[in-house]
Amino acid sequence: MLPQTHFRSVFVSDIHLGAVGSQTEPALRFLESVSCDYLYLVGDVIDGWVGRKDRKWTPMGTGIIREVLEKGNKGTVVRYTPGNHDAFMRRMHGVQLGNIFIEHSFLHTTADGRDLLVVHGDLFDRSCTKYQPVAFIGAWAYEYLGMANSALNKKRNKDGKRPIDFTTVTKRGIKKFIGKATNYEQSVMDYARESGFDGVVCGHVHRPQIQICDNGFVYVNTGDWVEHCTAVVEHEDGRLELLRFSQDSQQEFTLGAWEAIKKLVSPAAK
Ligand SMILES: [Mn+2]
């Protein structure tokens, strides 16, 4: 077995297993090379949209599923928030299979105490929502974000903080966040910030990014395994780092082959 590097958390999304163009082998190599306390599958991991002709499930795809199951068996908490390409998995929200949890969204608290909303993010993409009536979007948003929201309120309650009225923020506000913001990133950030999170981890748009805003709010996009081959890791001290698989080193994979395309040092603890 390859030597594994340990991180507190690993976030991956948009592997699009089964789709032509999925860089399944580098994704598998990456997952095999890391161990972690928390593994977040941030949606579009399996691509259920692919038609018969284009179908391209490979043994590597099976390898990824097996690797995820194995990590779960060894004690990693696996949290899977399905996306629009693996929306069939959304029917299983609330299901726990061993150490694998399937929910629409999660609250992840970093080692340095930041509360992050983890969600695939297609809800905030106007091209996915523009033909839907407001009432539908509101109901969808409420269910979709409910798990992370109630987890945040439970935590705030424990910390002696006032609960956040998510019904108002989510049901009435979602159209505002989706409709008025200039872009996807801004919509996601506006929603998460107004909902009391300290940051958001999403995927969906295949634009890997770590961005720290003025008030320390952090926007994290895990990128994808079609074009970029990226993942985000959380170190033991809560630092988040975006990693990219280097094309040149696909033959002999080691963690040294990762090019840290942006390193994020956490802002001072709250
Ligand atoms: Mn998506």
Phi, psi dihedral angles at 24 (to 5 degrees): -65, -40
From ligand 1's centre to the CA of 158, what distance in Å?
Answer: 34
In a domain, 110, yes or no: yes
Asked whether the beta carbons of 227 and 247 are under 8 A apart, the reply is no
Residue 67 belongs to a domain:
yes
Element (H, E) at 251: none
Strands lying side by side in the sheet with 230-234 = 96-97, 100-102, 77-80, 34-41, 5-12, 230-234, 240-245, 258-264
Distance 21 CA to ligand 1 centre (A): 15
Whole-number Å distance, alpha carbon 84 to ligand 1 midpoint, is 5
Residue 57 resides in a domain:
yes
What is the rounded distance in angstroms from the CA atom of residue 270 to the CA atom of residue 262? 23
Q: How far is the CA of 269 from the centre of ligand 1 (A)?
A: 32
pLDDT at position 253 is 43
Tell me, yes or no, whether 177 lies in a domain.
yes
- Looking at the domain assignment, is residue 38 inside a domain? yes
Rounded distance from Cα 148 to ligand 1 centre (Å) = 19
| Residue 145 located in a structural domain | yes
Enter the pTM of the model. Answer: 0.90
CA of 255 to the centre of ligand 1 (A): 27
Residue 72 near residue 31 (C-beta atoms within 8 A)? no
Cα 146 to ligand 1 centroid, rounded to whole Å: 19
One pLDDT digit (tens) per residue for the chain, 270 residues: 567 889 999 999 999 999 988 999 999 989 998 999 999 999 999 998 866 566 688 899 999 999 999 999 999 999 999 999 999 999 999 999 999 999 999 999 999 999 999 999 999 888 888 777 877 888 888 888 999 999 999 999 999 999 998 888 877 677 777 766 668 999 999 999 999 999 999 999 999 998 888 788 999 999 999 998 999 999 998 988 888 886 555 444 444 445 455 555 555 444
Task: Report CA(117)–ligand 1 centroid distance (Å).
Answer: 16
Q: Ligand 1 mean position to 2 CA, how many Å?
A: 31
Q: Which domain holds residue 72?
A: 5-264
Kind plus residue range of the DSSP H or E element containing 19: none
For residue 15, report the distance from its CA to the centre of ligand 1, in Å.
10
Q: How far is the CA of 125 from the centre of ligand 1 (A)?
A: 9
CA of 90 to the centre of ligand 1 (A): 13
Q: What is the 163 CA–ligand 1 centroid distance (Å)?
A: 30
Give a yes or no: residue 270 inside a domain: no
The total number of structural domains that make up the chain: 1
Nearest to 210 by CA among 263, 268, 267: 263
The answer to whether position 269 is within a domain reads: no
CATH number of the domain enclosing 160: 3.60.21.10
Report CA(204)–ligand 1 centroid distance (Å).
4
